[in-house]
Amino acid sequence: MLLTDTGVPPEHITTDKWGAETMRRLEDGWCSAVDRNTYECTIYANRPLICREFEMGSAECIAERAQPVTLSHPKR
Residues of the chain scoring pLDDT < 70? 69-76
Examine residue 1 and state whether it is found in any structural domain, yes or no.
no
Per-residue confidence (pLDDT) for residue 18, from 0 to 100: 94
* Cβ atoms of 33 and 10 closer than 8 Å: no
State residue 72's pLDDT score. Answer: 52
Number of domains observed in the structure of the chain: 1
DSSP string covering 12-49: GEEE-TTS-EEE-B-TTS-BTTB-TTT--BTTGGG--H
> Is 17 a domain residue?
yes
What backbone phi and psi angles, to 5 degrees, belong to 26? -80, 175
Q: Is residue 28 part of a domain?
A: yes
- State which residues form the domain around 52: 10-65
DSSP, res 76: -
The predicted structure's pLDDT at residue 45: 92
Tell if the pTM clears 0.85, that is, is over it. Answer: no
Give the pLDDT confidence score for residue 76 in this predicted structure.
45
Angle at alpha carbon of residue 3, lines to 30 and 74, rounded to 5°: 45
Per-residue pLDDT at 62: 78
